[in-house]
Each structure stands twice: as C-alpha cells, then as structure tokens.
C-alpha cells in the first residue's frame, strides 16, 4: 500500500494527510500489507518526516527532495510518482483529494492502467474487498464503488476532513532517499512564475471550519467581519457563486458545484439561500449553521442549527462571543 503525501507550507504533515495515513495503516494491517509513503518536494526535513510518519504507523518513506521540485510541475511529479509505483508495485494507492493529487492520480491511473476513484468520503474493507463511498449528482446520492480485481493498482483520493482517523501503533519508519536527473526524461512543461495570493490564508479545502458569505454580503468590504471572525476560530472564508458573480469575492473563495468542494467540521453560511449547487460543495460538512433573515430560506431545511436574523447583527455578536470564549489566542487550523 502506497500513500502519496503532500506537506503543508510549514513542511509538516497536514491534518487531511494524517487522516489518510492512519486510515491506510488500519487497512494495511487488515490486508497484512506494508504501508509505504512517497514525498516529493524541496528542502524536506527527512528526520522530522520520519518521526511524524512513524506516529502514523508508516513502515517506509521514499523521499525525492530537489530544488527543481520547488514549484509543482505535473510533468516531473507524475514521472517520479509513476517511477515509485513501478518500483513498489502497490495494490492500493491513496492520497488526499488535493489540487495536486487531482492532477497526479488520473495521470498515474493512465500510466499504470490502474482503477481510479476520486474524492471519496469513506472506505470499508470486507475480507480483501475494498468499497469506497463517494457522493454524486450534487450530493443527491451516495455511491458505493468496488474495484475490478484486474485493474491494479487501485487509486483512491479522499476528500479532506471526511475520514475519522483510527488509533494506530507508532512504527519506526525506514527512510529511502532517491535521486533523479531531469535529463533522464524529457520535461515538457516549465513553471515560469508562481503568483501567491496575499497574506497567509487557510486553505478552503483543508480548513476544519469555514465561514461563508453569500449575495447578502453586498460588497467585498463587508467580508471583513467574516475574516475577523475566521481569524478568531482558525477558519477559512468562503463565498457563494452569487457573491462571486456579483464581484464581491474572488472565484478562489467560491464553494459549490462550480467552485471548491469542502468538508469541514463546521460550516457557517451567512446570507446564503442554500441552493442545490451550493450544497453540492459543502453538503458533507459535519455541522452546518445558517444565518439568514428569511425563515423560509431553503438552507434551514438542511442545516443543523439556524439563526433567523440579519447577519450584520448576528456575526458581530458571534465574533465577540467567540473571542470571549476562546480568549485572545486565535485557534490555528493545525
């Protein structure tokens, strides 16, 4: 069993990566397999990684660390991923359904002929048969998918925050450091420039808490109150398509069918009606709180807690109350 692991900006294992690793460890124990991980990047602290992966029960880690891997180049990353798959020959390959893996897993499936299911929210094993669950058609159905035995390896990506990680026994992780030369293979893509968004934002797709604003926000300046509240609870800020189309928020913040799919522990929807296309992107959130001044807004049929009032009255109170409860210390997402 192989897990392709991505690191956070601080070069630590991210929370979604730990969820996938511990789930993989449990399955590896059930099918009596080794758990191997692959890390591709630059300036990777191999000792720190060995320790962190050991706590997740990982047997071995292969590390490709090179300056040329600083920016994500799908061409080079795919080659290193496929090279490792061909060496290890795993039956199962898991990863977080991150933006990188949405590129790498289909490419690896193509190159290896393996079966692929992306963005799963659950996994079950009976005997040696693995069944994964994934929501489809804007969350209207939950499909359970089994792999055809003949298509090996079986590649699965998991939606961040959807797996509940089991307890695992720590292991001593064996380190394998690999080198490579880009002259050995033709590189067809070149990263010319990476433009980062301003400030240190919490990734929407990995955030444990999200506070989103819809059309009711009225303009970008009004999002300030959401960002201030988010900072206190370590949340990311999202938006509905109506807010994005109206020019209030950038598309990178859009949650929904044509935006990002998120699965936080807590989703706070402010001034969002609850259209099916918005739900397609956040319906699997563990707890949904809606703030809407219309008691008949559809979102109230789908949320766990609802507040019928003006968001511009409720959110400032919520912010102050959270600040009081949590003290001055902001909660981080790690």
Ligand X SMILES: Cc1cc2nc3c(=O)[nH]c(=O)nc-3n(C[C@H](O)[C@H](O)[C@H](O)COP(=O)(O)OP(=O)(O)OC[C@H]3O[C@@H](n4cnc5c(N)ncnc54)[C@H](O)[C@@H]3O)c2cc1C
- Judged by CB, which is closer to ligand X: 180, or 220? 220
Q: Which of 240, 261, 263, 285 binds ligand X (CB under 6 A)?
A: 240
Rg of the chain on CA atoms, in Å = 21
- Judged by CB, which is closer to ligand X: 232, or 272? 272
Helix axes 311-326, 224-233, angle to 10 degrees: 20
- Residue 297 touches ligand X, criterion: CB under 6 A: yes
Residues 51, 53, 57, 58, CA torsion sign: negative
- Residue 264 touches ligand X, criterion: CB under 6 A: no
Q: Which of 7, 156, 311, 318 binds ligand X (CB under 6 A)?
A: 311
> In this chain, which stretch among 16-24, 61-69, 153-161, 274-282 interacts with ligand X, using CB under 6 A?
274-282
- Residue 306 touches ligand X, criterion: CB under 6 A: no
User: Minimum Å distance from CB 293 to ligand X?
Assistant: 4
Q: Which of 55, 152, 176, 275 binds ligand X (CB under 6 A)?
A: 275
- Residue 312 touches ligand X, criterion: CB under 6 A: yes
- Residue 214 touches ligand X, criterion: CB under 6 A: yes
Contact criterion met (CB below 8 Å) for 42 and 72: no
User: Minimum Å distance from CB 70 to ligand X?
Assistant: 32
- Residue 215 touches ligand X, criterion: CB under 6 A: yes
Of the candidates 207, 200, 255, the one whose C-alpha atom is nearest the C-alpha of residue 234 is 207
> In this chain, which stretch among 61-69, 122-130, 210-218, 229-237 interacts with ligand X, using CB under 6 A?
210-218
- Residue 243 touches ligand X, criterion: CB under 6 A: yes
| C-alpha of 227 from chain center | 21
- Residue 242 touches ligand X, criterion: CB under 6 A: yes
- Judged by CB, which is closer to ligand X: 55, or 276? 276
- Judged by CB, which is closer to ligand X: 44, or 255? 255
Q: Which residues sit at the interface with ligand X, rule CB under 6 A?
A: 214-216, 240-243, 254-259, 271-273, 275, 277-278, 281, 291-294, 297, 310-312
């Amino acid at each position: 069993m192989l897990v392709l692991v991505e690191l956070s900006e601080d070069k630590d294992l991210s929370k979604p990566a730990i969820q996938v690793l511990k789930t993989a460890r449990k399955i590896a124990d059930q099918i009596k397999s080794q758990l191997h991980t692959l890390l591709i990047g630059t300036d990777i602290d191999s000792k720190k990684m060995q320790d962190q992966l050991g706590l997740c029960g990982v047997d071995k880690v292969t590390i490709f660390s090179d300056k040329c891997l600083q920016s994500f180049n799908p061409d080079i990353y795919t080659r290193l991923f496929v090279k490792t798959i061909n060496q290890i020959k795993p039956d199962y390959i898991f990863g977080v359904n991150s933006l990188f893996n949405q590129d790498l897993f289909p490419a690896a499936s193509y190159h290896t002929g393996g079966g692929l299911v992306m963005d799963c929210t659950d996994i079950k094993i009976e005997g040696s048969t693995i069944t994964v669950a994934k929501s489809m058609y804007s969350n209207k159905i939950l499909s359970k998918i089994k792999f055809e035995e003949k298509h090996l390896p079986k590649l699965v990506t998991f939606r961040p925050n959807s797996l509940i990680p089991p307890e695992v026994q720590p292991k001593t992780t064996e380190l394998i450091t690999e080198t490579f030369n880009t002259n050995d293979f033709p590189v067809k893509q070149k990263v010319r420039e990476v433009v980062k968004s301003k400030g240190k934002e919490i990734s929407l797709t990995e955030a444990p808490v999200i506070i989103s604003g819809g059309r009711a926000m009225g303009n970008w300046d009004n999002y300030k109150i959401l960002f201030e509240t988010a900072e206190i609870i370590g949340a990311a800020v999202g938006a509905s398509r109506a807010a994005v189309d109206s020019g209030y928020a950038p598309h990178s913040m859009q949650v929904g069918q044509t935006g990002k799919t998120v699965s936080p522990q807590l989703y706070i929807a402010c001034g969002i009606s609850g259209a099916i296309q918005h739900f397609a992107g956040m319906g699997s959130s563990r707890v949904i709180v809606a703030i809407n001044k219309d008691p008949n807004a559809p979102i109230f049929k789908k949320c766990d807690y609802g507040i019928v009032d003006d968001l511009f009255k409720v959110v400032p109170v919520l912010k102050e109350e959270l600040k009081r409860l949590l003290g001055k210390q902001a909660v981080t997402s790690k």
